[in-house]
Structure 1
Amino acid sequence: MENIRSEFIKDGFVKIDTLLSIKEVESLQAIYDELLTEKEKTRHLRSDLAGGDGFDSRKIERITQIMRPSTVLPELLKHKAYKVALQWAKDLLGDDMELDFDMMINKAPNTNAETPWHQDAAYWIAMPDKRSASCWIALDEVFEENGCMWFIPKKEKNDILPHKNLPNGGALYCETKADNAESIPLSPGGCTFHDGHTLHFSKGNSTEFQRRALILNFRPKKMIELEREQGVDHTGQRKQRT
């Protein structure tokens, strides 16, 4: 465990080959697919990271993002994924780590829309304790052609770069050199952890199948309380906050 923790602290990300069993993945897939089809119940939490109006029935959501899905289906919080990922977050960054928010990101088949290079911390308010860990759980076989994660190993000091929005309400993105970027293929039930300052990216999905991912974001309990005091619940507009 200490080697994994050291790798996470040094590089800003780490790969865990098996977080969940296939049965546990299958139970998550069923819940996930239910939420994907529940456009009315998730309307206030749902958007297309590729930009554009994801609610037009004539259009396809290329990169569906659903923030805080457990507020729509609270049973998600009882799934083993949340318990196991939390323990990993505590092992990586300390016993005061707690779940801040969850998120679903699905790349639809044959859409080929990239998630551009960005740092998650660009979305967040400035906090005195910057520890964070985002657990990106693969619910499908993920590889370069359908949108696996790519990371740039962290430098000693990773400042938050200037970010802009993609057109029509799309994701934040930044300009960066990606010469030393590493792609991280995963099997269903595998995951990565990365911190908020780590630059990451994923290619579009050029295959005939979905690329489903559940993301669980952890930070110190006191920092979550600070966010909530300032009205931040991770359901609002995407913009650079820092």
Structure 2
Amino acid sequence: MESVKNPHQAQDHFVLPESNQPLKEPTIKLTSEQVDFFRTNGFLSIDHLIDENEVTYIRDQYDKWFAAKLGREHGNFFDLLSEDTDDREAVAPQLLWPSIYGKTMTGFDLYSTQMYANAYEICKSLLGEATEFKGDHAILKPPSANSLPTPWHQDEAYWDPTLSYESVGVWVALQPVSVENGCMQFIPGSHRAGDVLPHHTQNNNPRIHGLEVDTPSEYTKEIVACPLPSGGATFHHCRTLHYTGANASAEPRRAYTLQFQCNTTKREQPRLNTWNETKTTDRERRAKESGWNLRAP
């Protein structure tokens, strides 16, 4: 795809869906015990969100997206944990909006997957019937001696500081995940500890997009790791502290994530957001130059 410059918005050149409703019926419903566990702990692990046939289909699409570095010119393909320069191998490449890019490149239809139908149904059980889909992204950790952990953080720390969110992130494993290759890890109950905690950019470097909570040792006394089989998923609240380790295995670690929200409200006063305000990343530069302004979530 060619770069698109202002004043035309880059995303206007893609066909956005008229409806985000799933095209399949869900095959999973949560029990009351699972809902209670999520509300108490801020996360939930499910071993079998989708079957292996759908895992294989999504993984094949996924590898094509990353090989082509889809969305790089729009700031939507970038390395979370480095300065993201073209002359450097990415340690944690990510693609925002694979549902948009995949539709254009390979005909991938997120809304017709069982993954989407089941994730939507579960998030409605956790957040309420007014739940809406707000975005997706794909996260790759290649096998490498240079692989890095994704630091302890809260998702809401990345988002609009004038809003308060009730949101759930869905993290789907496209192969078995373990502590060795970077499964999700959580701090139980950290979503109930108050507002968004202070964060800083990785290594306090404003050219790196990834965030880390300040003084993580204050919060990480109780850690729950969630290894999963292929096709399993975790669900976590946007203020639940979470982390994934480096990929120390010999295979890529692929995850597809979806974000759902309900009852977003305007804050009386914006929360602290200095860690985003001081960023000067190449990713943001590419987004501005291309005119891309669609944010996830």
2:119 to 66, 70, 85: 85
- 2:156 corresponds to which residue? 121
1:23 to 2:63 alignment: no
2:92 counterpart letter in structure 1 = I
1:233 counterpart letter in structure 2 = L
1:51 to 82, 90, 102: 82
1:176 to 2:209 alignment: no
- The 8 Å contact of residues 166 and 264 in structure 2, kept in 1 or not, is answered as no
- 2:12 corresponds to which residue? none
User: CA shift at 1:134, angstroms?
Assistant: 0.4
1:101 to 2:106 alignment: no
Secondary structure at 1:47 match in 2: strand
CA deviation string 1:19-52 (max 9, x = no partner): 0000010011011001111125444211111112
1:66 counterpart letter in structure 2 = L
Which 10-residue stretch deviates more, 174-183 or 202-211? 174-183
What count of residue pairs does the alignment treat as equivalent?
A: 229
Cα 1:232–1:163 shift into 2, 3 Å: farther
The root-mean-square deviation of aligned C-alpha atoms, in Å, is 2.4
Structure 1: gaps of 5 or more residues? 225-230, 237-242
- 1:234 corresponds to which residue? 295
- 1:62 corresponds to which residue? 91
Which 10-residue stretch deviates more, 132-141 or 151-160? 151-160
1:184 counterpart letter in structure 2 = C
Structure 2: distance between partners of 1:102 and 1:235:
7
Secondary structure at 1:144 match in 2: coil
- The 8 Å contact of residues 175 and 229 in structure 2, kept in 1 or not, is answered as yes
TM-score by length of 2: 0.72
1:145 to 2:206 alignment: no
| Percentage of pairs with the same residue | 33
User: CA shift at 1:115, angstroms?
Assistant: 0.2
CA deviation string 1:179-226 (max 9, x = no partner): 101111011100000011000011101111100000000002x649xx
2:295 counterpart letter in structure 1 = H
1:206 to 2:206 alignment: no
2:51 counterpart letter in structure 1 = S
Structure 2: distance between partners of 1:40 and 1:65:
10
Which 10-residue stretch deviates more, 64-73 or 208-217? 64-73
Structure 2: distance between partners of 1:158 and 1:18:
32
TM-score by length of 1: 0.87
Secondary structure at 1:141 match in 2: coil
Secondary structure at 2:94 match in 1: strand
Structure 2: distance between partners of 1:185 and 1:232:
35
Structure 2: distance between partners of 1:151 and 1:157:
14
CA deviation string 1:62-118 (max 9, x = no partner): 101111111112323222211110111001111111110001110011232110010
2:235 to 193, 211, 234: 193
- The 8 Å contact of residues 69 and 102 in structure 1, kept in 2 or not, is answered as yes
CA deviation string 1:107-136 (max 9, x = no partner): 011232110010001011246663111000
Structure 1: distance between partners of 2:85 and 2:35:
38
Structure 1: distance between partners of 2:85 and 2:142:
12
Cα 1:197–1:12 shift into 2, 3 Å: same
Task: Look at both structures and tell me which one has the larger radius of gyration over its CA atoms.
Answer: 2
CA deviation string 1:4-25 (max 9, x = no partner): 1111111000101110000010
Structure 2: distance between partners of 1:170 and 1:67:
13
